[in-house]
Amino acid sequence: MRETGMSILEVKQLLETLKGKPIELSVNRGRNKVDTFLATIEILYPSVFTISSSNSKSKTETFSYSDILCSKVKLPASNN
């Protein structure tokens, strides 16, 4: 379910400011599985963005902007 407070445009602007910087990312994988790791936002596409990390199971992952709105992905500056 979407949490109120941010729009997709605001999420895109936030990710644009964080692009290329190392950030701590929390990903809810379901069934009480939450991965927290250091990542770098690599590329911003119109509907999705890609991150790369060295200590995650896969080195490159792709998420949609709605994943942040639904709190599947949590960023340190998104106040979620």
| Sequence-ordered strand ranges (E) for 1-80 | 22-30, 33-44, 48-52, 60-64, 73-74
Report the side by side order of strands in the sheet with 22-30: 60-64, 48-52, 33-44, 22-30, 73-74
- pLDDT (tens, 9 = 90+) of the chain, 80 residues, equals 555 678 999 999 999 999 999 999 999 999 999 989 899 999 999 999 999 987 656 689 999 999 999 989 998 754 44
Ordered by where they begin, the domains of the chain are 8-74 (2.30.30.100)
Sign of CA dihedral 77, 74, 40, 53: positive
The predicted structure's pLDDT at residue 4: 60
The predicted structure's pLDDT at residue 76: 75
What SS3 class is residue 64? strand
